[in-house]
Structure 1
């Protein structure tokens, strides 16, 4: 079978890979779509993401949906009992396998498990191979059957939408409030949608690129501001909460300067490795609550339900490109003047 493998910085290949067999407790899934994530782009362009550095070839991808083909021993018994989706069922794959035993897991913070396995991640060595392949074997517990009204293509947004939902929940109750989102890439646009779904009265999105701001409007933004035009008439004087989704220090600076006294800023974008300067005195003098947001847990199920009822999410999918043209897909996904979310199509051609 074919898979999308990163061998090093700038070295992305579509390789012939052995077809997997599901082990005990595992499911075999025929992948149909996989979303190209910002972290996939970082592995391709920089050889790492944040503090996670590529040390060996790795199958990329963690935003995958497809169809159940078969189960390994143990898991197939659960399928017969109706505890897991039957073969032939369309599913989304939750990419995380927390250890379940560390202090974070036992405290209910499985998304920051210190020993988790996450599809397509170089956070540990050997790396956890990802889902950008024609077939993948994953723990059966990671499968989620799609709601009847959810098309498989839109379901590919479930993983990044889960990230957005978790970030908005980290901001607290946003009902009736003004929320700022800095960075209108795919995650930022989904944060806009998540904030609106959570009851935010007004959401302002900022970005440097006009095309990105158009996608933010499609996601539900009430106002957009060019980040390089600080005197713009649409720029708010104050907001109740802010989510930094650009992954650059300037975005965090903007959030801290515009959030009200006693407000909440959520750092979602992964900042460059090493130290990042930010106006820390504002955190002190205004008693700003600065919080991190990393991945997600149960929000995955909520994301699928939200996607099933919101067809406007389709507007955030810019293109669907065959696996054989993976490098073209990555090039398009990296060009934010032309795209929002780009999907790889694993249908045999």
Structure 2
């Protein structure tokens, strides 16, 4: 098929109604459809010579549409830019659709994108246990104050050694939402990583094991990668004795000093989208397999693109050319300790994150990506 127009818009009809998606075409170019993991969303025909196989523009130094450039250009200096990250993302990735809730709520069974996939890419077979957990947690947002904000600035704080001695603590604490990952500590490192934690995303093997090391006033956000993880989280929520530990690859936390109302379940769609749409990891029939699980940091960034207006990161990036550099900011393990991961594809993941930084979709405070 050959087209001779420069651009047009199509209406995409999904289960939730009509959504508008921009399709950019090059004059007189043959267009090809990009295969999707899901069949519930179609974005029409996209030019293969303009987009890469994941659907990102090959030329990433793109400008916002004039109306958005005008909108953000007229804001006072330093003001939060509503919808900015999603607008920039859509400019380089026209398939991006912003609506994806951060956490599961009592209507989670209606989320078609996750209902047909087993963990970690969905909730299939775990519906009953999730229902039980959500009955106890009762709350499904960031909290009244943050949920009311018309514009949210979020930062994902990675665990990389690149954070060490950067004195970014004050700058990190200025963000509305500060996301931390797994067991990365705050106490004793505040000069570099700040003191504020809005939410800490983790899974059983990554959770802080000493209850005394949890900071106050933060949400405990569970990300499930296997059915056993959901059983563990249910025991944590209901403050039961943790049992049935066979199947974890390392020891897990037995207690989390949080009330159920301070716990959340991260929407597994962000794992699915990061893996198959953004990075291009092997589908493996929708099952966890070799090299098709994104790191929790990239999952958190994906979550932020959907739920934050401005997105920044710090502490991301491994410099393999410096084997003696610290791997993490909080321990003495060196970069040379990194071994090939069975679950992650770090090089492909870095390629995706570099797209976001290059196109100014996200801001990298430590410039490690």
TM-score between the two structures when normalised by the length of structure 1: 0.30
The answer to which structure has the higher strand fraction is 1
